[in-house]
Amino acid sequence: MMLAKNPDQTVETPPLPRAQEAGWYRLGAAPGSRGAAVIIGHVDTADGPAVFYRLGALRPGDRANVLRTDGRTAEFRIDSVEHVGKNRFPTRRVYGDPGYAAIRLITCGGRFDRRSGHYTDNVIAFGHLARVSGTGAR
């Protein structure tokens, strides 16, 4: 699923009925090309765990595979996982060009604020491209 920006210029998130799918921020780099490929998914819903439920359990050296639109698989290695307050979101580190093919996996985390209906933090996994495999689309 492809994501862009909301009318208020915030980044879209996947719709809750599709919480088991992550979305690629299409205004940034494509997975496996130079730049930061940003992929966003929900941690959970009222019905239970969602696609990025275990994102916070990733550790440096873990793999994250992304099936590209050309049918090839981009394999990334995780460099770090950070928990940051939404009011301290590292926009430049997430969306800026790091000078190599990178991935940023983002979900919610921290405490769930029942009054606002949102989590207080984000969990962000930062990684780099290890390889691209497969024969691609024909």
- pLDDT-derived band at 135, boundaries 50, 70, 90: confident
- Residue 136: its pLDDT value, please? 66
* Side-chain-facing half-sphere of 65: CA atoms under 13 Å: 7
CB 66 within 8 A of CB 127: no
Please tell me the distance from the alpha carbon of residue 88 to that of residue 100, in angstroms, as a whole number: 24
CB 20 within 8 A of CB 50: yes
* Side-chain-facing half-sphere of 104: CA atoms under 13 Å: 27
pLDDT tens by residue, 80-89 = 999 999 999 9
What percentage of the chain reaches a pLDDT higher than 70? 98
What is the separation, in whole angstroms, between the first and last Cα of the chain? Answer: 21
- Residue 137: its pLDDT value, please? 57
What pTM, to 2 d.p., does this model score?
0.93
* Domains with residue ranges and CATH for the chain: 2-133 (2.40.260.10)
Q: What angle do CA 58, 64, 29 make, to 5 degrees?
A: 120
Instruction: Reply yes or no on whether the pLDDT at 98 is more than 60.
Output: yes
